[in-house]
Amino acid sequence: MPTNRVTMRQIRETLRLHLQAGLSYAEVGRVLKISKSAVCKYVSLARAASVDWAHADTLADEELEAKLYRPAVPRSSHQLAPDFGLVHQELKRPGVTLMLLWEEYARDNALAYKYTSFCIKYREFAKCQQRSMRQIHVAGEKLFVDYAGGSVPIIDPVTGEITQAQIFVATLGASNYTFACATPRQTTEDWIGAQVLALEFIGGAPRLIVPDQARALIKRPDRYDPEPNRTYEEFARHYGCAVLAARPRHPRDKPKVEGAVLLVQRWILARLRNRRFFSLAELNRAIAELLTDLNQRPFKKLPGCRRSAFDSLDAPALRPLPPARFAICRWKEVKVNIDYHVEFEAHYYSVPHRLVGTKIDVRVTGSLLECFAANQRVASHALSAVRGHFSTVPDHMPASHRAHLEWTPAKLIAWGQRIGVSTAAVVTWQLEHRPHPEQGYRACLGLLALVRRYTAERLEGACTRAMAIRAPTLRSVTNILKCGLDRQGALFVADSPAAIVHENVRGADYYHH
């Protein structure tokens, strides 16, 4: 209630500047040197009284004061009290405030509470709710996830072995809509796979996902700045969410899922305690049936149930899911060996040779292995389970290695035959008499280099002399060329080169199969 005419002038000027001139609350406050909250209060009083500026300008101060500050009237709590349960639910909608709800409640209601009394009584109502209900969660904002403390035994029908299935629980902050499923363990794949199913169950993606700091999800746990692992980051990016991990040993950071875990234990697991399950799929079918009943149980102090609250609050606010389901992957940091290969599960995969000695990231999905350097994909291979073998892409090799790879024994002998029969004989000898095939390849590549340094005719002559003196080695041929001995006469004349008709010379055809 204003105490003097100065206050009424302030109220009148406030209404003019905001309702007629269109200034914001902050701008009106700066002009009149009053607080922004005072401006908000005066405008709200006018709106509740259905007084616009055109009407206010025609009223005397006393009339305007009577409109804005209505006298107290006898009150009946049955008539005046709003549905604070509905108010509590409406506050979860994006952008809805107590001031807006009070204005809607007080409009055309002569027996309405004043705004201050409205707020006080709502807070008293909120204090009476369960601890997990004290926070106000915006619709579509947070999905809380965790594992229940208990487990369910699964009996192998063949061996009789018993394993303990873990129970994953997720719940939405605004509606308490709850999802649960069983997973074999609590690995990274289990955590993320269960969250994928949770998002598909609710049919959309929230803005935030709130897990605890499980090592399967969080690479570097920290009270203030935990860092998710690479797979969890990729999952969140795929669904357009952010990860807000709760602080360790702070259950109040995720009270929603703590309450949901208790509900799942009492209303689902307790009912399944006497049943025997022989597969994870069988257990999940049983959980899904009881989950429908849990989400349709009426709230005790709020209107509706989890399902109806989800349909009206969270469902419209969730982001649509991407067209494709997230493919769960594994990440591993590896060092590139000197042979430009990286190792994963005892198999070796090539990467560009320029990365030798550096550390790169390997991403593994069901059938594909991808290599990333500086966040750029540099190689991809089909995943192989053959231990000790190599998957090599020729383009990853240095030019010299690539050329070496292209020269097969048959190709080397065919090249020798194009030079001459003696050169072919020397090439064949190299491939057959070296302890290791790699040594024979190198010697033949050395002969190739001699063609570029000398001529094909001189190389053929040198090979003829080397075969004649029974020294068909690369060093012997090289020395013959250096000394010019290939230009001297033949040591003996024969109708055909002895080496070619020898029974130990297999010929090029041997290497084609």
Q: What is the pLDDT of residues 147-165, one digit of tens each?
A: 988 899 999 999 999 999 9
pLDDT at 257: 67
Q: Is the pLDDT of residue 368 over 90?
A: yes
Look at 277 and 73; give whichever has higher pLDDT.
277
Paired residues of 165 in beta bridges: 152
Outline where 383-511 has alpha helix (H): 399-406, 409-419, 421-433, 437-453, 456-468, 474-483, 498-501
Give yes or no for residue 311 having a pLDDT over 80: yes
Half-sphere exposure of residue 133: CA atoms within 13 angstroms, side-chain side: 17
Three-state secondary structure call for residue 509: helix
Judge whether 179 and 247 are in contact, CB under 8 Å.
no
Q: Identify whether the C-beta of residue 205 lies closer than 8 Å to the C-beta of residue 239.
A: yes
Confidence of residue 45 (pLDDT cuts 50, 70, 90): confident
Comparing 457 with 409, the larger pLDDT belongs to 457
Q: How far apart are CA 206 and CA 316, in angstroms?
A: 11
The three-state (H, E, C) secondary structure of 59-91, written as one string: CCHHHHHHHHCCCCCCCCHHHHCCCHHHHHHHC
Report the C-alpha gap between 285 and 277 in whole angstroms.
Answer: 11
- Residue 324's SS3 state is coil
Nearest to 197 by CA among 236, 161, 170, 167: 170
Q: How confident is the model at residue 373 (pLDDT cuts 50, 70, 90)?
A: very high
Determine how many CB atoms are found less than 10 A away from the CB of residue 153.
11
What is the token pair recorded at 51?
A: 């007084």
More confident residue, 305 or 56: 305
Residue 254 to residue 261: CA distance in whole angstroms? 11
Q: Which residue bears the tokens 């909250």? A: 37
Scanning the structure block, which residue is given the tokens 């500050």? 69
| Residues 437, 431 contacting (CB under 8 angstroms) | yes
Instruction: Classify strands 341-344 and 347-350 as parallel, antiparallel or unpaired.
Output: antiparallel
| Model confidence band, residue 407 (pLDDT cutoffs 50, 70, 90) | low
pLDDT at 499: 46
| Banded model confidence at residue 97, pLDDT cuts 50, 70, 90 | confident
Higher pLDDT, 406 or 217: 217
Residue 380's pLDDT band, with cuts at 50, 70 and 90, is very high
Cβ(413)–Cβ(431) below 8 Å:
yes
Nearest to 346 by CA among 390, 388, 384, 391: 388
In the block, which residue shows the tokens 């100065």?
Answer: 6
Percent of the chain, pLDDT > 70? 85
Q: For residues 314 and 298, what is the distance between their CA atoms, to the nearest angstrom?
A: 17
Strand duo 347-350 + 242-243: pairing: unpaired
Instruction: Give CA separation, 448 vs 58, 441, 486, in Å.
Output: 107, 11, 17
Report whether pLDDT(260) > 70: yes
For residue 285 the two structure tokens come to 């079918």
d(CA 251, CA 246): 8
CB count in 10 Å sphere of residue 215: 11
